[in-house]
């Protein structure tokens, strides 16, 4: 039986459970970075929450520490009126490890002005991934060399994967032949 199913544990105690810092979070904290450890995902991947102003310094530090492979970047919506999240799944590849070390960095952003710096200059592979997240959620990646719509037409209004998005009844192609 998990804590969530245990009626003897008060709900407020369940919410304040302390999550032990993983190897990446511990290394960052030892080097003076403020990060919040989140509960590992279902596969055991370490997850950390950081402030948007610390994204570039922390991303640079992780890259220098061997997390040179950006496996995935994306975004999601926590719900209508709630925060948007930009996440980065990083992998540290090494020859002597049985399993590569992985960490998922999450940046929670206000819905009304979701902006953070682009990590394009650290991991070039993020180019289209940041563009897709911008296109679907409206998260602006400042400093991205070509931040424009990727999947939707340039004149599309709104961010289709936001949970409060209202789909238009139709979309008229302006110059369709």
pLDDT score for 99: 82
Residue 93 lies in a domain: yes
Query: What domain range includes position 53?
Result: 11-142
Residue 157 lies in a domain: no
Residue 156 lies in a domain: no
Provide the domain count of the chain: 1
Q: What is the CATH number of the domain that holds 118?
A: 3.30.460.80
pLDDT in tens, the chain (177 residues): 444 455 555 555 555 567 788 899 999 999 999 999 999 999 999 999 999 999 999 999 999 999 999 999 999 999 999 999 999 999 998 777 678 899 999 999 999 999 999 999 999 999 999 999 999 999 999 999 999 999 999 888 999 999 999 887 765 655 554
pLDDT score for 19: 77
Residue 158 lies in a domain: no
Residue 159 lies in a domain: no
Q: Please name every residue paired with 115 in a beta bridge, in sequence order, or none if there are none.
A: 140
DSSP string, the chain: --TTT-TTS-HHHHHTPPPPP-HHHHHHHHTT---EEE---TT--EEEEE-GGGHHHHHHHHHHTT--EEEEEEEEE-STTS-EEEEEEEEE--TT-SS-EEEEEEEEE-TTS-EEE--TTT-GGGHHHHHHHHHHH--EEET-TT-S-SSS-TT--S-TTSTT----S----TT--
Closest CA to 25 of 68, 67, 79: 67
Residue 25 lies in a domain: yes
Residue 148 lies in a domain: no
Residue 162 lies in a domain: no
pLDDT score for 17: 62
């Amino acid at each position: 039986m998990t804590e969530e199913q245990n009626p003897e544990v008060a709900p407020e105690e369940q919410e304040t459970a302390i999550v032990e810092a993983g190897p990446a979070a511990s290394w960052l904290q030892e080097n003076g970075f403020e990060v919040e450890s989140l509960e590992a995902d279902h596969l055991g991947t370490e997850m950390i929450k950081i402030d948007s102003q610390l994204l570039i310094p922390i991303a640079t530090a992780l890259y220098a520490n061997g997390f040179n492979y950006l496996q995935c970047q994306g975004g999601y919506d926590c719900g209508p009126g709630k925060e948007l999240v930009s996440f980065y799944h990083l992998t540290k590849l090494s020859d002597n490890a049985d399993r590569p070390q992985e960490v998922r960095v999450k940046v929670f952003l206000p819905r009304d002005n979701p902006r953070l710096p682009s990590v394009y200059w650290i991991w070039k592979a993020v180019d289209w991934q940041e563009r897709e997240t911008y296109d679907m959620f409206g998260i602006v990646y400042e400093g991205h060399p070509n931040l424009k719509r990727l999947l939707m037409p340039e004149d599309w209004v709104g961010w289709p994967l936001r949970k409060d998005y209202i789909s238009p009844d139709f979309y008229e192609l302006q110059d369709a032949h």
